[in-house]
Amino acid sequence: MTDLAKAIQLREAGHLEEARSVLLKLITLEPINPLVWFQCAWVHDALGSESEAVPYYTKALELGLLGEERQGAYLGLGSTYRALGLYDESKLLFEQAIQEYPDQREFRIFYAMVLYNLKDYSKAMEIVLQQLLETSNDTGIQSYSRAISFYSDKLDQTWK
């Protein structure tokens, strides 16, 4: 078993400090391996050390992290920025993620959350309602899909 696999196994088993220790050593041994940087970010997030996770996520992305791990780094970093109150950074990152992965709905939901934090309530609700319409199989929601869709971007409008 590789040291990276061992660190992942430790993280998954909840041995976060031990995983962190292995990953920090691995960074010195494999400084250009984006997977090591990503896993190090993840373990810091899991430890509640969000601000410490940021440079690891950033480096993982800079080093060309690919696939599901890249998506995870976008989500982790964007969510961490939001949790730290870095709303503009979060917004920009989620916009980039949505552009790169337009079919990954989770980015739109997290983007809506940061829009809410930025007090763009109308746009945030529009995104959430559209995602709800596109993913829900609920018969009640689907029976009102035209109305929900129509009002999704007109929540502040009234008709007299």
Q: What is the pLDDT of residues 115-133, one digit of tens each?
A: 999 999 999 999 999 999 9
Where along the chain do its domains lie?
3-120
Give 61-92 pLDDT, tens digit per residue.
999 999 999 999 999 999 999 999 999 999 99
Under 8 Å CB-to-CB from 108, ≥6 apart: which residues?
98, 127, 131
Task: Please state at what angle helix 121-135 crosses helix 105-117, rounded to 10 degrees.
Answer: 160
CA gap 125, 50 in Å, rounded: 27
pTM above 0.95? no
* The predicted structure's pLDDT at residue 55: 98
| Fold of domain 3-120 | 1.25.40
- pLDDT tier at 33, thresholds 50, 70, 90: very high
* The predicted structure's pLDDT at residue 24: 97
Reading the block at residue 13, the tokens are 């088993």
* The predicted structure's pLDDT at residue 1: 82
Closest CA to 18 of 9, 28, 27: 9
